[in-house]
Amino acid sequence: MKSLAAGARKNKWNFIVVGDRKTPDDYNLPGVSFYSFVDQLDELGIAKEIPPDSYARKNLGYLKAIESGANVIVETDDDNAPIGHFFENRAVNTVSQTINNNEWTNIYRFFGVENVWPRGFPLELLQTHETFALENNDSCSPIRQNLINGDTDVDAIYRLIINKNVTFDYKDNIALSPKSWCPFNSQNTTWWKVAFPLMYLPSNCSTRMTDIWRGFIAQKICWAKGWSISFGHPTMFQDRNAHNLISDFEMEIDGYLGNAKFISVLDSLQIDKHQELIDSIRLCYRALVNEGFFPTNELKILDFWLAYF
């Protein structure tokens, strides 16, 4: 956190830290705008709907940044430290290599590592080798996931069986064409203003699935809009906080067993390019509620979120 705060201060970034009930109210770190649990309840109606100490309370930090006038939001967690070009200027329109394979894609393989997969990738596909074509394209990519070296974002099965730190190659951005599904997380992700409504983290699901399922919904809607999701070289290093890996595994079961159906629900939806973004988000969540991925109450919290846009 100290290196992030120092870098934010040096580069004149607004750095927001979202507290929970165990965070001291007098938390103070130079360069940080601290948003305490009490402050959250006082200022935002949605805060009363998101469970205390839930990972989804990051939503409140996103809204705080949006209210402050942000045009770009970079999200991360407290066990990540910046490396390399983390504080570089970011452009929404970039020349990227685009993967055209119309199937699940393990993006980690394109950055020089084998036998590693992102959290949320289907286990049944680990032994397959994707066929793909790479094309250089100018793309509008309002969501970019930069990779993380060290104890990178993988699932509990990887950590229980292999558990090796990872160093990715430094490569140009890679974008995904429509239906080239790949999980992306909330560890080192840049969002441009046009995509801010897609940042919503659902509350009524496992902590280990909330950002992954958010990402699948975002991919579906971005592709309908003609936007791409891109992945970039590592710009952070993770020294992971202590976790109970069996608890992580338990929280990931819904993904192991349900991701294929989750994607099939999204694939079945017709989203018009000209449809309002908030209407597309509602369409996705209503379909997923109907299929049992979220309880009906998720729609109430979502409506609170969408009211800000």
pTM listed for this prediction: 0.94
pLDDT of res. 31: 80
pLDDT of res. 131: 63
Distant-in-sequence, close-in-space partners of 291: CB < 8 Å, separation ≥ 6: 261, 265
pLDDT of res. 130: 65
CA 277-281-283 angle, 5° bins? 115
Low-confidence ranges of the chain (pLDDT < 70): 95-96, 129-133
pLDDT of res. 95: 61
- pLDDT digits 0-9 by tens, 132-158: 667 777 778 899 999 999 999 999 999
